[in-house]
Amino acid sequence: DTVSAGQALLSVAEAGAEAGSGGGSADGAAASASADGEVGGDAESSGANLIGYGTSEPKARSTKKRSFGGKHAAVPDAISTVTPGAAPAVPTVIPDAPLQPPTETQTPIDDSSKTAIGESATAAGNQVSPVASPLVRKLAKDHGISAKHLPGTGPGGVVTRADVLAAVESGTGMNRAGATAHVPAGTSPAGEPQSTAERSATSAGAPAPVGRADRDTRTPITGLRKVVSERLTRSRQEIPEATIWLDVDATELLNTKRALEARTGEKYSLLSLVARFVVAGLKKYPIINSSIDTAAGEIVTHGDINLGLAAQTPRGLMVPVVHGAGEMSLRQLRDSVSETVGKAGTGKFDPAELSDGTFTLNNYGVFGVDGSAPIINLPEVAMLGLGRIKDRPWVVDGQLTVRKVMYLSFVFDHRACDGQEPSEFLTFVADCIENPISLLPEL
């Protein structure tokens, strides 16, 4: 075909203008591109294209990127909103260097507060400090304090445990952890007054304010309480103790007690009978009747048996001592034990009655418990605990029956002996309880 001079061969239209000649093919290209999902159907991105030319830049699609343990962390939605004409969002880079103190242009934010960005929790005028430790955040939350609003004294302005405790002491920073606004008491977040019922519902489940500590009562640790506290603490810290247990059938012990009382017409307590078995066991295994001289680095095995009886008195825990128990008959030991137990009701003992014990017997069964791991009474090396006597199933001569059963717990100092002597001592006492006649050869 012949083209006349001056005839237009190509028409280029600006973006947004109506398409001239050739616009039909351009619309088809735009529709095809839109169908492929490459370009949106926006009027600004439609129109003819020529190599090296083109209409306005197509809008970039924003796609949320997830970070899996890398240094590039996705920016939360609250601060990643892109305004028209703004530069593309750049991932926030977490530097390897330590956190720096907050400045006017940079505000370090801990993980727990990311979701609160852009909300009323970061209202103007509130200082936000980094909190590195989850334990510090939990401590602050337990006391109803927002840790991120406390002034940090740690490296880089990090809030530390000491900062939280200081805030608790002073009563500052008492906004609830995780709150989204600082709302005066008695008002709703919108500023409207709240009713009493609403305030009760709002405070339900919230940590108790520190001010409620005024209801607590403080008792000075003095006198006997202080002595007991210091001695038991020292015992627990100093002694490498071990505890062994044994359950015994006390049916024959009860039968022996009744037979003895019927024959003599006198009363015998179970504690006095067990004390007699213990004295015989200490004579058989003298290492149990010892103490540790830490200054000299020696084990002192005592020639006398001074039997301590742990007793709960109105003044507190006391251990009066039956001196010379190893030289007493059963009747004498019974009388001494009875007298000592009687004084426990008042808690009035002479200092001499509370000293020089070599072994302690602890009858915690009177409190209705089965067992315990008692703390050794320094400077002794062992203690025997007696549990309550209770009907329990027991096998006798291959037959299941109900018997009177009690538990024995024995704690000893591993510095004085290994496990053999304590085990043999406990087994000896258990045999005497189950069959009191077995003690006759030891008398």
Same domain, residue pair 338 and 438 = yes
The answer as to whether 38 is a domain residue is no
- Which residues are CB-neighbours of 111 under 8 A, at least 6 positions away? none
CATH of residue 392's domain is: 3.30.559.10
The answer as to whether 408 is a domain residue is yes
418 has catalytic annotation: yes
Same domain, residue pair 295 and 422 = yes
The answer as to whether 71 is a domain residue is no
Helix (H) or strand (E) holding 391: strand 390-396
The answer as to whether 371 is a domain residue is yes
Same domain, residue pair 316 and 167 = no
Number of domains present in the structure of the chain: 2
The last residue of a domain, from among 181, 209, 233? 181
What is the structure's pLDDT at 83? 42
**C-alpha radius of gyration, the chain, whole number:** 42
The pTM (predicted TM-score) of the whole model is 0.54
- Helix H, strand E, coil C: the string for 154-169 is CHHHCCCHHHHHHHHH
- For residue 355, give the amino acid letter: S
Same domain, residue pair 429 and 281 = yes
The ranges of the chain with pLDDT < 50 are 16-54, 58, 61-99, 101-125, 175-185, 187-191, 197, 201-202
The domain of 115 spans 107-181
Same domain, residue pair 313 and 256 = yes
What is the structure's pLDDT at 424? 97
Q: Where are the beta strands (DSSP E) in 275-380?
A: 290-293, 298-301, 307-313, 316-318, 321-322, 359-362
Q: Identify the active-site residue in 42, 293, 391, 414.
A: 414
Same domain, residue pair 304 and 241 = yes
Same domain, residue pair 230 and 379 = yes
